[in-house]
Amino acid sequence: MSPESNIPGHDPFKALKLIIPKDKTRDALTISLKAAMATILILSISLAAFSAVYSQTQPDFFTWPEPDTDLYTALFDSDDSPTNVSHLAFGIGGSTATWPKRARYSDLWWEAGATRGYVFLEKDPGGSGSGRPGIGNRVSSEWRRFRRKVGSEAAVRIARVGSDLFRVGLPGVRWFVMGDDDTVFFPENLAAVLGRHDHRRMVYVGGNSESVEQDVMHGYDMAFGGGGFAVSYPLAAELAAAMDGCLNRYHYFYGSDQRVWACIGELGVGLTREPGFHQVFS
């Protein structure tokens, strides 16, 4: 310790005080606080304005209430009737560019008054899709806000078809069945197959591709969307809650069915294979 430090009244920080006077330090802190508060205020106003504009651009879909999962669970426990076509809800991923021609595929198996579900399109088809018999159409909920490294925007949108269909709130659904706009179903056969599984548990039913190359590329434990796949009501409820986060986490996957498979895997559910689901690559 130097002798100067023992001198009474000696202040070792005096030189520092001369460099930064008290008044200037106080002024600098005040300016910093004001700047921080102004930044927070601007961000809050911007967020409020964005939320107001963003909510106005969403389809009417978002005004629908979430289905009461507790109510459905109670109904499941009290209903032991065999699964039939009325317990299925179909969600078809399509586009306005292809649907006018590919609607013929769904016309082969759709039965008005018996089958239920929708084809989800990227926009209102207008006159080209209104008034035609067969499966009805709905506009997909907003999908452009999610991350995407590979694949098309349609892959992200179609991955959310199951969640969109769940939130429609169709009553008495045990199984949500997803497919492409050129997928052909046999509803009676499908109901019989799904009836072998417990719809009160989280179940993921589908089949592999008939192309070994595609199976090796994407995985043997994934249900391929072209052949269709089904998820039980409890799994659909969990997917509806988790899908948005999954889409951002798995932005590097290519197809919609691969994104769905990854999210189902996070929920700890494996694929239940049924040989009647056929995915064919031409």
pLDDT per residue over 114-139, tens digit each? Answer: 999 999 999 988 765 555 678 999 99
Whether residue 64 has pLDDT greater than 50: no
Confidence of residue 231 (pLDDT cuts 50, 70, 90): very high
List of residues 6+ apart from 176 with CB closer than 8 A: 88, 89, 91, 162, 165, 166, 230, 231, 232, 233, 236
In terms of Cβ atoms closer than 10 Å to its own Cβ (0-12, 13-18, 19+), residue 150 is exposed
CA distance 236 to 231: 6
Whether residue 201 has pLDDT greater than 90: yes
CB contact at 8 A, 217 and 253: no
H or E segment and range at residue 141: none
Q: Please tell me the least confidently modeled range out of 10-24, 89-103, 183-197.
A: 10-24
Q: Give the DSSP letter string of 112-133.
A: TTT--EEEEESS--GGGTSS-S
* Residue 15: predicted pLDDT: 47
CA distance 178 to 162: 7
* Residue 118: predicted pLDDT: 97
Q: From residue 264, how far is each of 22, 26, 149, 256 by CA, in Å?
A: 61, 56, 20, 13
* Residue 2: predicted pLDDT: 46
Q: At residue 267, what are phi and psi to the nearest 5 degrees?
A: -85, 0
How wide is the angle at C-alpha 260 spanned by C-alphas 254 and 266, nearest 5°? 115
What's the full length of the chain, in residues? 282
Per DSSP, 65 falls in state P
Whether residue 24 has pLDDT greater than 80: no
Query: pLDDT digit string (tens) for 65-76?
Result: 455 666 566 666
Q: Do strands 204-206 and 271-273 pair parallel, antiparallel, or not at all (unpaired)?
A: parallel
CA distance 250 to 147: 8
CB contact at 8 A, 246 and 263: yes
Q: At residue 180, what are phi and psi to the nearest 5 degrees?
A: -85, 175
CB contact at 8 A, 90 and 180: no
For the chain, counts of helices (H) and of strands (E):
10, 7
CA distance 27 to 243: 50
The encoded tokens of residue 207 equal 């089949």
CA distance 278 to 69: 31
* Residue 102: predicted pLDDT: 93
Average pLDDT, the chain: 78
The pTM assigned to this predicted structure is 0.70
Q: Which residue shows structure tokens 């590329």?
A: 217
Give just the sign of the alpha carbon dihedral 238, 243, 248, 254: positive
